[in-house]
Amino acid sequence: MTLIVKPYSEKHAIRNVVFAFEFTNPLSTIALREIRASKLHSRLIEDLDLPQHSEQTAVTVNIGAHGAVPSFGSGTPELTGLTYAHSKPNGEAAWAVSIQSNALVVTCGDYQRWDGTWKKVSLFLAETLPSILSNTQINVIALQYLDEFSLHGSREDWDLKALFSKDSKYIPRNLTDIKGACHSHHGYFDFPESPDSYKRLTNINIGVTESGDALIAQIYSVHKCLLSSPLVGSVEELIGESGFIRKSFADLHKENKNIVGDLLNQEVKDKINFDGSK
C-alpha cells in the first residue's frame, strides 16, 4: 500500500495566512472605544462582510504589597480588543480583522491566490489603518502562514520523504528518516535591505502529529520586519502600488515561497502546482 499525500485544500496547502502590524504604543481603551463608536465599526460589519463582532476585555488586579489584599483596579473590565469576522462552516475564520491594543491582525482562512488575497487585505487595511495611525505607530510588519498536509497510509508506510525534500536546508537531515510524530523549529535574523531599514525575523516550525491512519504535517512560518523607525506616510501611499507595506508583504510572501519551495519535494510541489500558483 502506498502513502497518499493530500494538501489542506484541493488546490493548495495553505490553511490560513495572517497579515499583522505591531504598534509602538498600545492603543488605549479610549481609542478602542472610539473605534467601536466610529463609522469603521459598521463599515467592517456591513460593507466589508465581517458580521461576527466580538470584544476582548481585561480586568486589572493590583497585587498588594507586603501582604496587603489584592484589589481590582477600576472594577470594570477594560476594552482591549475588537474583532470582526466571517466564519466558514467549520468554525474557522474565512476572514477576520482583529484590532488589539498592541497589534492589528488580518486573518485569511480562505486563501486563493496572492493577488486576490492582497486585494482584499488592502481593502481592510485602507479602512482600518487610518484609525490605528491616528492613535499610535507601527514598527513591525509580519506575515504568517500555516500550510498543512496529511499523509494517509498504514503505519509501516509512513515516510516523511513523501512530503519533504531530503535536501532541504531548513530541516535537519534526521527529519526525513522519522516514521511518526516529530518537530523541527528553526529561526534566524537577516537583513534583506540595509540594516538601517529593518531586520527580518524568520521562524520555520514544522510539526508532525499522528492522527489515526494519517500523519498531519503543519508548516508554520512567520516572517517579521522589525523596523528601525515607525512607518511614516499616508495609508494610500503605504499600501499603494510602490508603498512600503505592499512591498514588504510582497517580499515576505516571496521569501515564504522560497522557503516552502525548499522544504517540499518536487512531487508534492507538482501536485499542488506550487511553482505556478500560491
Query: What CA–CA distance (Å, rounded) separates 234 from 184?
Result: 40
**C-beta separation of 192 from 200 below 8 A:** yes
Within residues 140-159, the interface with other proteins by CB under 8 A covers 140, 142, 144, 146
Compute the C-alpha angle 71/73/76, nearest 5°. 115
The residue behind cell 484589589 is 71
**C-beta separation of 107 from 99 below 8 A:** no
Closest CA to 99 of 35, 142, 145, 152: 35
Closest CA to 97 of 19, 14, 15: 19
**Residue with Cβ nearer other proteins (78 or 127):** 78
**Residue with Cβ nearer other proteins (117 or 265):** 117
- Contact flag: residue 18 with other proteins (CB under 8 A): yes
- Long-range contact list for 244-248, CB < 8 A, 24+ apart? 245/125, 245/141, 246/118, 246/122, 248/141
Binding mask 162-201 for other proteins (x = CB under 8 A): -----------------------x-xxx-----x--xx-x
Binding mask 103-142 for other proteins (x = CB under 8 A): x-x-x-x---------------------------x-xx-x
Q: Find the binder of other proteins among 75, 91, 212, 276 (CB under 8 A).
A: 91
Positions that interact with other proteins (CB under 8 A): 15-16, 18, 20, 22, 24-26, 52, 54, 56-63, 65-66, 80-81, 83, 85, 87, 90-93, 96, 98, 100-103, 105, 107, 109, 137, 139-140, 142, 144, 146, 185, 187-189, 195, 198-199, 201, 203, 220, 222, 224, 226-230
